[in-house]
Chain A
Amino acid sequence: MAFGAVTAAILLAPGAHADVDTDFANQLHGYGIYGQRDYNAWMGKITCERLATHVDTTAFQSATFLRGNLDRTTSTQQVWQFLATAVQTYCPEQTPALRAAADSSHTTTKEQR
């Protein structure tokens, strides 16, 4: 379910506008993710930086990082929506990390059947 959210977030990402942080906030609102606009923008950019510097080497680690630093009421699905939106907005070059997480999840699901 969370990975469906990732795919949907990638597909539904709007085109770039003048204020990237505002676009990011607006898209988060669509997922029911609120909180301070600036904080969320920082978190999106830092998430990208952690992937770029290999502090986080997988999207699963990114999700763990976000889960610990977003509002406690944020659901697992929203964490993945946040991550996918952050990658799409601030570091689209990291999209393969998201796809790898989605693929490994699909593989695991098939093996369990």
Chain B
Amino acid sequence: MTTRLPLMQCCAMTVAALIATAMSGAAPASADATDEFPIPHRMIVTTCDAEQYLAAARDTSPVYFERYMIDKSNRPAYIQQMAEDRIHWFFSLDPAGRRQYSEDTATDVYYEQVATHWGNWAKVFFNNKGVVAKATDVCTNYPRGDMSVWDWR
């Protein structure tokens, strides 16, 4: 026991030193939005509507889409409707408005009220740059305003 204590003290000091070094080298956290975060640029500039985008994501990122739809189907109906209404509102904005919204949600965690009810309410639309890239590439090939795309489960 007498030999262990110095060893523990030694290791504790080493760990403390490592943590201090890591913290001093860490970049300060930034809450500002960028052209790609939290909403990818392609989502900001796309001319597709929500249904065109969603149909494209269904075909180009099927597992991601499926998981989103399963998550959605596990929410109360009024939350699901709230999410659909909110994403329609988002798509009604011009690129400048979408960019401002991206800024607002990045700088104020409570700005998006739907997110307080369902944290991942817009995951298929905002959260994955690759998913957005693949879907926005082809979304103009799908019909506008086809609400049947929401009826997945």
Interface residues of A, Cβ cutoff 8 Å to B? 39, 42-43, 46, 49, 53, 55, 65, 68-69
Within 8 Å CB of B60, what residues of A?
68-69
Q: Is B111 an interface residue (CB 8 A)?
A: no
B59 touches A65 (CB 8 A): yes
Check: B89 CB closer than 8 A to any chain A CB: no
| Chain A residues with CB below 8 A from B151, complex form | 53
Task: List 17 contacting pairs A-B, 8 Å CB cutoff, sorted by A.
Answer: A39-B63, A42-B62, A42-B63, A42-B66, A46-B62, A46-B63, A46-B66, A49-B66, A49-B152, A53-B151, A53-B152, A55-B58, A65-B59, A65-B62, A68-B60, A69-B60, A69-B62
- Contact A43 B152, beta carbon cutoff 8 Å: no
Whole-angstrom distance between the alpha carbons of A68 and B60 in the complex?
A: 7
Number of interchain pairs (Cβ within 8 Å)? 20
Closest to B149 in A: A55
Interface size range on B against A: under 10
B59:A68 contact, CB within 8 angstroms: yes
Residue-wise, chain B 2-14 has the 8 Å CB interface mask toward A (1 for contact) of 0000000000000
- Give A46's nearest chain B residue, CB to CB: B62
In the assembled complex, the CB of B148 is this many whole angstroms from the nearest CB of chain A, namely 9
Distance in Å: Cβ of B146 to nearest Cβ of chain A: 11
A73 to B58, CA, bound (A): 22
Which chain A positions have C-beta within 8 A of B58?
Answer: 55
Complex Cα gap A32–B63 (Å): 22
